[in-house]
Amino acid sequence: MIGASTHPEKLGYGVARNLIQSGYRGAVCFVNPKGGYLFTRFMYKSVAEVPDPVDLAVLIVPAPAAAESLRLCGERGIHAVILISSGFREAGATGVALETKVLQIARQYGIRLLGPNCIGLLDTHLPLDTTFLPPPSPRPGEIAFISHSGAICAAIIDWSLRQGFGFSRLISLGNQADVNETDMLIHTMLDEYTRVLTLYLESVADGQRFIDETRRVNRQKPVVVLKVGRSAGGQRAAASHTGALTGVDTAYIAAFEKAGIFRADSIEEMFDWARALAWSPLPRGRRMAVLTNAGGPGVIAADSLENEGLQLADLSPETCAALTALLPSAASLHNPIDMLASASSIQYASCLRLLLDDPCVDGVLLILPPPPMYPAVSVAEALIPIIRNASKPVVVALMGSTQIDMAAERFQAAHVPEYRFPERAAAVLARLTERAEFLSRPEQPAQVFMDIDADKARSLLTEDPIGSWLAPEAAEGLLRAYGIPVASIKLAHNTGEAIEISQELGYPIALKIASHDISHKSDVGGILLGIDSPESAAEGFRTIQDQVRKAKPEADIEGVYIQRMIPQGQDVIVGAVHDLKFGALMMFGSGGVEVEGLKDVAFALAPLAIDEAERLILKTWAGRKLTGFRNNPPVDLEAVKETLQRLAQLASDFPKISEIEINPLRVFEKGAVALDVRVKI
């Protein structure tokens, strides 16, 4: 520990104290250039004097001295350093330079560096505590917490003491000059004491690696994230609907979904969920029973469960009969089961056992307001052995404070998840159910299509400058190169060409204005439909140009695109934008000109496995109606999935495609075809 201090108000004292008090079983050596003693230990004047082996150096020195200290660590052959000090990137330009220098030395000596500007890490099982936080330390537990904020570490350690859960590890990442959140994931998962990973994130350093690693981790141990910074920063200017509908948070939402991890909306929610995920068995289904001694809380629980998408179990006739025998006649046996205020510990225990034995029940929400007749703690004591031995989750809503204190402590000590009110308990059962469903869903690989012509696509993308729109023929060619059917479109420069192309494509045809300056053609009279003769093609050619010139005189018009009219079908929008953090972000939904108003769209990150494509589609009304609605027959859902997957592959292969949008994609009983496509470089 370099920078140990004998002054109790200094951080270098706090870290030294915690290193000793944490009970770390290896050697702890203090370094201070002045020498002397701290906690009855000799202080070395230099890291060079510290005897072998050294696994880790904790560094608290003023920022300007950090680089030199780190160099000495490197010379000494130390390969892991926690740099606690602040005064780096977070403190302006001088700090940035100091941080760059520190990182450079770390790289030079092969040092992995946590920090700077962090409170270090804490492992309750090793045990090891490199923080300077005042005692008490957190209790040992099963939850790991990785955080971009040191202050939040400090606050939740203190908060957790009364919430009845402990931590396996806490890691404060600080400025992440070297080690970042993703680096810590796998190592934390491998820790045998850790059962759940929780993360407070302000951003993600490397989007693709984060998704890959969290996917792996999350298959083994559940990951719960609180991601902030949703509303920070303005919306970037977007050219297409897909771009306009993408918020700052859209890609993160899609990333967390792709990794199958839980996203909490608040700190309390994150740890509500985490301790149940650490302690409870997972339910086999969505059918929940509510056991209560009062009607009101039972109704709240029923509401909350249904609101979370869970079901109120229909009890088996055997269970109903047994409950009838146990309970007074005025009790309510229809789930929620209301045993009435007179319910004793024995009735609570017997009813809970019956519910857990019922094959129609997948989990139980148990409500315990202060029972008027018995102390809550005696009920808790009767229930704990049953809950501990159950193969189904039981989540407890303990209502009150002074009268349920002891009961809460017993439940916490027995690792039974308990919450103050039924609403939070219901949310926890929902997360357990979702976790079970996630684990039961086999991981499907994203399909990679081989019948594509990447060279052709590349050649079509070389010509246009950044920020420009691809010419329609090139955009069309791009889709064709990736096996997406497109309605042929050709450019006519004059009436003669218009007639010629029309004859070649066959009637009826549609005419669309060709102009780089116009992104929404129908807004300026730039579309004519149902042209069915050479004469009307020629006339249409003139009309469309006149209309556009009138609506937008400054637009540079190249001519008119001609396309064969396509039979009726269902129209949807399919698009992708390139997200700088996570790559191709796919959109699907209701298209047309009202897409931005209706907002019937959903997003997912590329690449898309077949089940991901299906989930994306079915999130929207546009997608659900593909399976048929009212008198409209079902259309080819498979073709839409394939289009989405192929477009995802195309957008992933070419990051220079900033936005690509098929609007509409027309879907038939058999097949689907892009009627219009726009590509921005």
**Which residues in the 535-594 window bind a second copy by CB under 8 A?**
551, 590, 593-594
Q: Out of 6, 125, 127, 163, which residue is the one contacting a second copy (CB under 8 A)? A: 163
| Site for a second copy contains 161 (CB under 8 A) | yes
In the list 224, 294, 479, 572, the residue contacting a second copy (rule: CB under 8 A) is: 294
Burial 533-543 (b: 16+ CB within 10 A, else e): eeebbbebbee
**Candidate residues 49, 303, 535, 669; the one interacting with a second copy per rule CB under 8 A:** 303
Number of residues that bind a second copy (CB under 8 A): 84
Q: How many CA atoms lie within 13 A of 224 on its CB side?
A: 26
CA gap 627, 650 in Å, rounded? 26
Residue 535 CA to residue 49 CA, distance in Å, equals 96
Amino acid identity of residue 311, one-letter, is Q
Among residues 277, 169, 273, which one has the least CA distance to residue 226?
273
Q: In the chain, count of helices (H) and strands (E)?
A: 23, 29
Q: How far apart are CA 229 and CA 226, in angstroms?
A: 10
Paired strand residues for 289: 364
Q: Compare residues 9 and 52 and give the one whose CB is closer to a second copy.
A: 9
What binding mask, one character per residue, do residues 447-486 give for a second copy by CB under 8 A, x or -?
----------------------------------------
Residue with tokens 């039961």: 440
Residue with tokens 């001694």: 293
Measured over the CA atoms of residue 89, residue 95, residue 97 and residue 103, the dihedral's sign is negative
Residue 200 or residue 541: which is nearer to a second copy going by CB? Answer: 200
Give me the least distance between CB of 238 and a second copy, in Å please: 15
**What is the nearest approach in angstroms of a second copy to the Cβ of residue 295?**
6
Identify which range of 150-158, 358-366, 410-418, 669-677 contacts a second copy by CB under 8 A: 150-158
**CB 401 to a second copy: min, Å:** 4
Residues 668 and 487: beta-carbon distance below 8 Å: no
In whole angstroms, the minimum distance from the beta carbon of 298 to a second copy comes to 9
Q: Check binding of 522 to a second copy (CB under 8 A).
A: yes
Choosing from 152, 313, 585, 660, the residue that interacts with a second copy (CB under 8 A) is: 152
Q: Which of 158, 443, 504, 611: binder of a second copy (CB under 8 A)? A: 158
Q: Give the nearer residue to a second copy in terms of CB position, either 131 or 643.
A: 131
Contact at 8 Å (CB) between 644 and 588? yes
Site string for a second copy, 351-370 (x = CB under 8 A): ------------------xx
Of 551 and 557, nearer to a second copy (C-beta) is 551
Question: Quick one: tokens of 331?
Answer: 């009790």
Q: Which of 162, 237, 440, 455 binds a second copy (CB under 8 A)?
A: 162
Residue from the set 27, 48, 155, 190 that interacts with a second copy by CB under 8 A: 155
C-beta of 204 vs 486, nearer to a second copy:
204
Nearer Cβ to a second copy (414/527): 527
| Residue 671 binds a second copy, judged by CB under 8 A | no
**Calpha distance 377→372 (Å, rounded):** 12
Helix axes 454-461, 637-653, angle to 10 degrees: 60
In three-state secondary structure terms, 152 is helix
- Nearer of residues 251 and 499 to a second copy, judged by Cβ: 251
Task: Please report, as residue ranges, which positions from 17 to 76 form the binding site for a second copy (by CB under 8 A).
Answer: none
Edge-first strand listing for the sheet containing 167-172: 128-129, 121-123, 167-172, 140-147, 196-201, 223-227, 262-263
Q: Which residues of 382-414 are buried (b: 16+ CB within 10 A; e: fewer)?
A: bbbebbeebebbbbbbbbeeeebeebbebbbeb
Q: Nearer Cβ to a second copy, position 231 or 389?
A: 231
Residue placing its CB nearer to a second copy in the complex, 563 or 590: 590
| 148 interacts with a second copy by CB under 8 A | yes
Which H helix or E strand runs over 665?
strand 659-667
- Name the one range near a second copy by CB under 8 A: 447-455, 488-496, 624-632, 646-654: 624-632
- Taking CB under 8 A as the binding criterion, the range among 17-25, 377-385, 400-408, 601-609 that sits at the site for a second copy is 400-408
In sign, the C-alpha dihedral spanning 75, 77, 79, 83 is negative
Q: Residue 24 and residue 128: Cα distance in Å, rounded?
A: 5
Q: How long, in residues, is the chain?
A: 681
Stretch 89-128: interaction string toward a second copy, x if CB under 8 A: -xxx--x---------------------------------
Q: List the x/- string, 128-147, binding to a second copy by CB under 8 A.
A: ----xxx-x----------x
Considering only residues 234 to 273 of the shown chain, the ones binding a second copy according to CB under 8 A are 265-268
Interaction between residue 646 and a second copy (CB under 8 A): no
Q: Where are the alpha helices (DSSP H) in 508-619?
A: 534-551, 595-598, 610-618
83, β-bridge pairs? 59
Per CB under 8 A, the list member of 329, 389, 440, 462 interacting with a second copy is: 329
Q: Does 330 bind a second copy (CB under 8 A)?
A: yes
Q: Does 186 bind a second copy (CB under 8 A)?
A: no
Half-sphere CA count of 557, side-chain side, radius 13 A:
24
CA distance 386 to 382: 8
Which residue stretch of 137-145, 154-162, 451-459, 501-509 sits at the interface with a second copy (rule: CB under 8 A)?
A: 154-162
